[in-house]
Amino acid sequence: MGRLFGTDGVRGVANADLTAEMALGLSVAAAHVLAEAGTFEGHKPKAVVGRDPRASGEFLQAAVVAGLASAGVDVLCVGVLPTPAVAHLTGALGADLGVMLSASHNAMPDNGIKFFARGGHKLADELEDRIEAVYDAHRHGEPWERPTGAGVGRVRSYDEGFESYVAHLLSVLPNRLDGLKIVLDEAHGAASGVSPEAFARAGAQVVTIGAEPDGLNINDGCGSTHLDKLKAAVVEHGADLGIAHDGDADRCLAVDHTGEEVDGDQILSVLALAMRERSALRSDTVVATVMSNLGFKLAMERAGIRLVQTAVGDRYVLEEMKEHGYALGGEQSGHVIILDHATTGDGTLTGLLLAARVAETGRTLRELASVMERLPQVLINVPDVDRSRVKTSADLAAAVAEAERELGETGRVLLRPSGTEPLVRVMVEAADIEQARSVAGRLADAVKSALG
């Protein structure tokens, strides 16, 4: 079978791809693998389990909890909370394992399971591979060792998780948000309770939209993947800024007072300068992916801040940050990691820190974000080509070199084979949108001709 674990846990259509049986089996397998790895040595293991508001999360959580408890793991159910809250509580409560049920920004029919190791960190690839292998062996008849009597896990609700997480968010804010009017779009998702509470307690006047989850409306025309409602609400209410999360609130995008989007690259720019001012930007370095806008790179160069770029995916950003001890990293999509205060992207924390910078400086978000000029970016997907030859085709290399000569210092070309489909992504940035379109079109033709 293909690998179950993707870059962000196991994800699929709930009750079709991701069934109760799979959720139960993966949870038992995770308990066995972590026990073999010595994680549970000398004590009764403990897990934190949370979910986003999707209807399917109710039965999937029941399956996960049953699997863990049947394997001898005590379970604390923290209810509907953001992914970063579950990661934080896994660390704060000294748990051996955290489990989050969410499909993030995906549509409502999907769901997913994400495991966290002790401390709230993402499981290492080799542990995920081992969990999958053990789960697969059991599906093909290998029996589980099952505790009985007092050996089975106990299950209880941990309602203090909400308060603990909000208190954590407020404890890391450098200043209050008094005087700011902020619109929050919660995507009818996992942060619908904690995010408005945190912003209000920090002193902001809060207007909320998309904060009435009913299990079926998550990400439906709202949140960070659909910003139109937030843009309109910010202008309508005369707010200073707007903040949008996705379904599990590990992302944050923003809108300035005029209704213009402020993307992840711009948010990183603002936070990088703020953190450097407080001597919190270790090595004066920010980590981002190769898909970051060239305007971000140029802005950081002007500010004397080093940019380290990784492959696409927040896991690669996080690996680079942990390996070298960097404090700030993220993606254009709004997945921002502030490693001193979170082990994963945290949309609520990102939004609070962005608003804190507006309050501290007295400048508008539009003015703060203007430190970076987003260069026009054109992306063309070229289907039905041999993506394996992107790096070896001499004709394609010549076409790229010609495009780079034409663009000079004010533009950039990126050819990226898709990891999942037989297509190549052609991305061109230039100071002028017409030039970007023209160069991208020529390169797309060159890809078809060289790799078709």
Select which of 102, 104, 269, 292 is catalytic: 104
**Cα gap 155→135, rounded to integer Å:** 23
Phi and psi torsions of 4, nearest 5°: -70, -45
**Cα gap 313→200, rounded to integer Å:** 32
Cα-Cα-Cα-Cα dihedral sign, residues 21, 24, 28, 30: positive
Q: What's the CA angle centered on 268, arms 233 and 358, to 5 degrees?
A: 50
Alpha helices in 208-346 (DSSP H): 228-237, 264-277, 294-303, 314-324
Would the annotation count 250 as a binding residue? Answer: yes
- What radius of gyration do the chain's Cα atoms show? 23
**Cα gap 314→345, rounded to integer Å:** 8
Give yes or no: 104 in active site: yes
Residue with tokens 């996080």: 318
Amino acid, res. 300:
M
Would the annotation count 228 as a binding residue? Answer: no
CA distances from 447 to 12, 211, 402, 420 (A): 32, 45, 14, 18
Residue closest to 52 by CA, chosen among 195, 285, 249, 260: 249
CB atoms within 10 A of CB 414: 17
**Cα gap 30→176, rounded to integer Å:** 41
User: Residues annotated as binding site?
Assistant: 104, 246, 248, 250
* Active site amino acids: 104
User: Residues annotated as binding site for Mg(2+)?
Assistant: 104, 246, 248, 250
